[in-house]
Copies of this chain bind each other. A is one copy, B any other.
């Protein structure tokens, strides 16, 4: 079967990996010469043209932003919800009878959430959420019960919730680590 020339570029896994690595490395809108070089390199792994590289970065960047925006929106909605009925969602295990009259949660630290996407503010709310997908299929809650057990059995160590072990710099011991970016994106999007 003579491979039916696909109408559109279909990146090989290596190409994809390299592109993603570059993206993580900070590349967002490569200029012409960069595109040329990237294309040259990637062509080693399969057919590719400059426009493919260009489009890939365009799309990837755009969809990254989109994802962020969605998250923000969802967050806002969530906070709304939470302000209204935080307790509702509280635990079910014990003391199920508690009147929901506590104060709203105070984890509204969203001020800290740097709104680096400050160009997001205008009218692009048109129909980003036209697709309300995200159902994600069946959760297959295999062993939802084990939680108690697990968290409970382990206590040899965790029963001591006391120390604020450094959590964020956490890393698994020796696994290969890729880039370390202190910020989501070392190069913020153009602040216009």
Chain A residues proximal to chain B, CB less than 8 Å = 3, 5-6, 8, 10, 12-14, 16-18, 21-22, 24-41, 43-51, 54-55, 68, 71-72, 74-75, 78-82, 84-86, 88-90, 92-93, 96, 100, 105, 107, 109, 113, 139, 144, 147, 150-151, 153-155, 157-161, 165, 167-168, 170-180, 182-187, 190
Contact = CB atoms under 8 A, between A and B. Distances in A.
Identical copies in the complex: 2
B78 A182 contact: no
Scoring A79, A80, A172 by chain B CB atoms within 10 A of each residue's CB, the highest score goes to A172
A139 B8 contact: yes
Nearest to A68: B13
A179 B31 contact: yes
